[in-house]
Amino acid sequence: MNRRELLAALGTAPVATAALRAEEAAPQKPAPRQWAEIPPRESIRKRYFPNLPLLTHEGKEVRFYDDLVKDKMVLFNFMYATCTGICPTVMLNLARVRKILGDRVGRDIFLYSFTLKPQEDTLPVLAEYAEKHGLKPGWLLLTGKPDDIELLRHNLGFYDSNPELDRDTSNHIGIVRYGNEPLMRWGACPGMSTPEWIAKSILWVDWPPGQRAG
Amino acid sequence: MTFISRINRRREREAALAAKNRRELVAAGFTRRDLARMGLLTSAGYLVGVRGLSAWGGWSNGGYGSGWDGGSSHWNHCSYNCPQSPPTTPFSQPLFLMPVKQPVASLTPTPSIAPNTLGGEGRTRAHQAYTQFPPQLYYQSVLQPAQVSVHPELPLQSLWTFDGTFPGPTYQARYGQPILVRRVNNLPSNNGGFGLPSVSTHLHNGHTPSESDGFPCDFFEIGHFYDQHYPNVLPGFSSNYPPSGDIHEALSTLWYHDHRVDHTTENTYKGLAGFHLLFNQYDTGDETTGFRLPSGPYDVPMLLADRVFDQDTGLLTLDLMNTDGVLGDKFLVNGGIQPFFQVKRRRYRLRWLNSGPSRFYQLFLTNPSNFSQQIPFWQISNDGNLLPRPLQVTSTTLGVAERADVIVDFSQFPAGTSIVLENRLEQTNGKGPTGNVLAAGQGDYLLRFDVLPDAVTDASAAPTTSTQYYTLPTTTDTPRVTRTLKFSRRNGQWTINDKIFNCDSPAFRVKRNTAEKWILQNDSRDWQHPIHIHFEEFQILNTNSGYSGGSWGGGGGSAPTGVNVARKDVVRLKEGDQITLFFRFRDFVGRYALHCHNVVHEDHAMMLRWDIDDVGDTNSYP
């Protein structure tokens, strides 16, 4: 779409009007629509999971969809290193969730904690945080370009639709989003819930017995 | 007609153009800053609703006509995650009338009091009232996928259904005739985009033993079944009204729906809902007897729902990451988008149910040829429970899961008249309505009634002559305990009295056969909640903001008035509301739920488990 087309879209160029006039003279009965056939998994990927470049706390560059989400069971939350509100509780919960889920974490279940403050949470800060919290393989702290993180935050539903509340980081959304990407099963639970409940929740979207992909 | 068609064509064209333009903007890599510079993004970060960019094409509810076909404007104010369904021609299909569910001769394996775990039953607790109320009729209800048409201009939809239809078949049960419904989970493991094939079917408003209630955490998996025993007995049979219960607490319009914890939105959105009606010696199902309510083909359940369909595939779509509440731009009645319903010139009992997921309605009858005409009708129930007497109203308000039975007399209209069922309550996001009531013709058109010329008899009683249905039970008993429940939101997580939901232990325990008062407080900012309490109905004693008549807000008095002087199972909590409810908890024991019935809030843990036992507690702030 170029500038001229954009202006047309805004209704300031005459070309759009002319096209519409022609439409008005068309016969009454609209032709049956041809519907696109898009696999639902593809629609979900397009809508929510852009393949953005991100950095792990280990300094590794990864792609959000290809490397972190595709074919996996995942758990998302948002945090930042200096957060003293709900983050410590939620992160401690996730550490226990990791323990409950055992060796499946890192194999077919992955925990991802995104920083809300990519400019503050530099790699050394995240690495130190990971060290201090004893993060084990299968659980990554993630950062990226501020605009990319912001896009992910919105796509994954970690925003408050009240803009005033949304600007207040101390009020940031404390839910944990869980899902099974290939099975298109998604849910959420409070990050302040018990670790047992969070672990149980993610296992609700597990593969049926005998069908596990991991 | 030509004019309407032109407008429709133009709007369709503009909506498609808008969608294309938006896709191209994204594909071309325009940043937010670019958009803001071009004036296309507001300071709050929303795409402005310019024609050609908004998928609404600057018009409205995707595919409505204008003028008498229903020109809505308020969807232009949609602020975020705005629905963008393909256009559909309104009133181009008849209203679907659900079949009446028929019993079966027997079930295999034979139902048992203890859970038949080895036989594949998902139930975990024994039936507590089976011997006392042995089932007289058996039903088999299969949860299964089905290809369903919602509109002739959209492709067939892969829904999840009870017994193959959306809504599921209508149960017509009778007091004094206990039944058993076997739910069989034949859902596929491939959900087609959303839905969890793990289910718990709740009978909404039922005076049901806990193990058959459809408690959210009593879910069961593919290949399993779950027997639900409905005693169909009046409350109080074991306490204040032995031996058969209080006739004044008879229920009429119930519904059944999936209640899977954390996943109710997707499963009900996908089609798992239907009506369950209860009749007795007064509400007989025969308009020549009892209260003589319009019956048979003139007693019509209408399940209201709003949905979004994908612009490109035409298929039902759900925002999986939404936390506010999901609004649809397509309005379905009994599973069809904007159907028409041919009516005879006589009285009808219409049973309106707001099946969600998140929208509030204020329903009016609109004459599209004369918007200034007020069309009164008679509301005879609130939440499906008959009022003390019919009340004449010009509108009624329904939060999610609320029901209203109304009597509309179509003999007041000449043959050939068309009347539209219109929602005029403005709502621009999933959190709750704005409170504005739109002008007639500016709201959402749900269904069109077309008045037929046929001669017809009407044996039903005129509402003006029906002076008394049931008497409201007294609310003057001293409650054993008054409990306060404060609903708050902290870091995007719902809390009740600052606690987070957990299925595994009750927040409090009610002593069986006692009365309690519960004070519900909405402490969450700019959110509204239709709160549903399982098992026992309540009466609203007082509110701080007024809960009056059929209109949103309004009034300022402390006691409810009009149709809200009633037995209810859902109460709408506006922001800042404090509402006191009176209950009697009788007959059965076990776990029950209290939750917000905006199912998106419910799925984000806006719920609480409470139990009934023979000890109880007196925790006033559980």
Nearest to residue B449, comparing CAs of B351, B359, B345, B373?
B345
User: At B346, is the pLDDT very low, low, confident or very high (cuts 50, 70, 90)?
Assistant: very high
Indicate yes or no: CB of A33 within 8 angstroms of CB of B603: no
Contacts of A146 (CB under 8 A, 6+ apart): A118, A119
According to the model, what pLDDT value does residue B432 have? 95
CA-CA distances (angstroms) from residue B373 to B107, B284, B370, B451, B462? 54, 34, 6, 17, 22
Is 70 exceeded by the pLDDT of residue A26? no
- Cβ(A45)–Cβ(A147) under 8 Å? no
Nearest to residue B562, comparing CAs of B354, B378, B365?
B378
Instruction: Give me the mean pLDDT over the B604-617 stretch.
Output: 97
According to the model, what pLDDT value does residue B360 have? 97
Per-position DSSP letters for B487-513, written without gaps between them: EEEETTEEEETTB---TTS-SEEEETT
Is 50 exceeded by the pLDDT of residue B590? yes
Indicate yes or no: CB of B605 within 8 angstroms of CB of A37: no
Indicate yes or no: CB of A38 within 8 angstroms of CB of B313: yes
To the nearest 10 degrees (0 to 180), the angle between helices A195-203 and A87-101 is: 50
**A24 contact B CB<8A:** yes
Average pLDDT, chain B: 88
Q: Please, which residues 105-144 of chain A have a Cβ atom closer than 8 Å to chain B?
A: none
Q: Determine if the peptide bond prior to B357 is cis (ω within 30°).
A: yes
- Cβ(B80)–Cβ(B87) under 8 Å? no
Residue A39: count other Cβ atoms within 10 Å of its Cβ. Answer: 12
Return the percentage of chain B with pLDDT > 70, whole number. 85
Which residues of chain A are within 8 Å of residue B324 when distances are taken between CB atoms? 161
Instruction: Give me the mean pLDDT over the B58-82 stretch.
Output: 37
Four-point Cα dihedral A38, A40, A46, A51, nearest 10: -120
> Sheet containing B361-366: which strands, arranged edge to edge?
B340-343, B444-451, B418-423, B361-366, B396-398
Is 80 exceeded by the pLDDT of residue B489? yes
According to the model, what pLDDT value does residue B146 have? 98
Residue A115 φ/ψ region, left for φ over 0, alpha for ψ in the -120 to 50 degree band, beta for the rest: beta
Quote ipTM for the complex: 0.86
According to the model, what pLDDT value does residue B64 have? 29
Q: What is the 3-state secondary structure (H, E, C) of B60-106?
A: CCCCCCCHHHCCCCHHHHCCCCCCCCCCCCCCCCECCCCCECCCECC
Indicate yes or no: CB of A193 within 8 angstroms of CB of B500: yes
- Cβ(B94)–Cβ(B448) under 8 Å? no
Q: Which tokens is B383 given?
A: 């939440």
CA B383 to chain centre: 10
User: At A30, is the pLDDT very low, low, confident or very high (cuts 50, 70, 90)?
Assistant: low
User: At B498, is the pLDDT very low, low, confident or very high (cuts 50, 70, 90)?
Assistant: very high
Is 90 exceeded by the pLDDT of residue B62? no
Find tokens 């989970």 and name the residue. Answer: B185
User: At B384, is the pLDDT very low, low, confident or very high (cuts 50, 70, 90)?
Assistant: confident
pLDDT digit string (tens) for B213-238?
999 999 999 999 999 999 999 999 99
The more confident residue out of A7 and B502 is: B502
Longest dimension (CA), chain A: 70
Name which of B9, B153, B500 is nearest A33 (Cβ-Cβ): B153
Task: Say if residue B333 is exposed, middle or buried (CB neighbours under 10 Å; 0-12, 13-18, 19+).
Answer: buried
pLDDT digit string (tens) for B193-202?
999 999 999 9
- Cβ(B200)–Cβ(B259) under 8 Å? yes
Residue B124 φ/ψ region, left for φ over 0, alpha for ψ in the -120 to 50 degree band, beta for the rest: alpha
Average pLDDT, chain A: 87
pLDDT digit string (tens) for A94-142?
999 999 999 999 999 999 999 999 999 999 999 999 999 888 899 999 9
According to the model, what pLDDT value does residue B45 have? 35
Nearest to residue B144, comparing CAs of B157, B129, B162?
B162
CA-CA distances (angstroms) from residue B134 to B124, B206, B207, B227, B455? 19, 17, 16, 13, 45
The more confident residue out of A165 and B69 is: A165
Find tokens 């944990």 and name the residue. Answer: A176
Contacts of A64 (CB under 8 A, 6+ apart): A49, A50, A51, A52, A53, A54, A152
AA letter at B80: Y
Radius of gyration of chain B (CA): 24
| C-beta pairs of B453-458 under 8 Å, 24+ apart in sequence | B453/B345, B453/B415, B453/B416, B454/B344, B454/B345, B456/B344, B456/B345, B456/B346, B457/B346, B458/B287, B458/B294, B458/B298, B458/B346, B458/B347, B458/B411
CA A55 – CA A145 distance, rounded (Å) = 9
According to the model, what pLDDT value does residue A14 have? 37
Q: Which tokens is A41 given?
A: 């998994």
CA B356 – CA B598 distance, rounded (Å) = 7
Indicate yes or no: CB of A175 within 8 angstroms of CB of B493: yes
User: Quick one: closest CA in B to A3, which residue?
Assistant: B38
The more confident residue out of B57 and B613 is: B613
User: At B80, is the pLDDT very low, low, confident or very high (cuts 50, 70, 90)?
Assistant: low
Instruction: Give me the mean pLDDT over the B49-72 stretch.
Output: 30
According to the model, what pLDDT value does residue A28 have? 56
Q: Which residues, in sequence order, are bridge partners of residue A55?
A: A61, A143
The more confident residue out of B325 and B545 is: B325
Which residues of chain A are within 8 Å of residue B86 when distances are taken between CB atoms? 33
**A4 contact B CB<8A:** no
Mapping DSSP to helix (H, G, I), strand (E, B) and coil, where does residue B20 land?
Answer: helix
CA B222 – CA A96 distance, rounded (Å) = 30
Instruction: Give me the mean pLDDT over the B420-448 stretch.
Output: 96
According to the model, what pLDDT value does residue B460 have? 97
Lowest-confidence region among A19-28, B101-110, B503-512, B581-590: A19-28
CA B138 – CA B135 distance, rounded (Å) = 7
CA B414 to chain centre: 32
Which residues of chain A are within 8 Å of residue B525 when distances are taken between CB atoms? 162, 165
Is 70 exceeded by the pLDDT of residue A19? no
Which residues of chain B are within 8 Å of residue A211 when distances are taken between CB atoms? 189
CA B273 – CA B357 distance, rounded (Å) = 11
Q: Please, which residues 183-202 of chain A have a Cβ atom closer than 8 Å to chain B?
A: 183-194, 197, 201
- How close, in Å, is residue A82 to chain B by CA atoms? 16
Name which of A26, A165, A174 is nearest B493 (Cβ-Cβ): A174
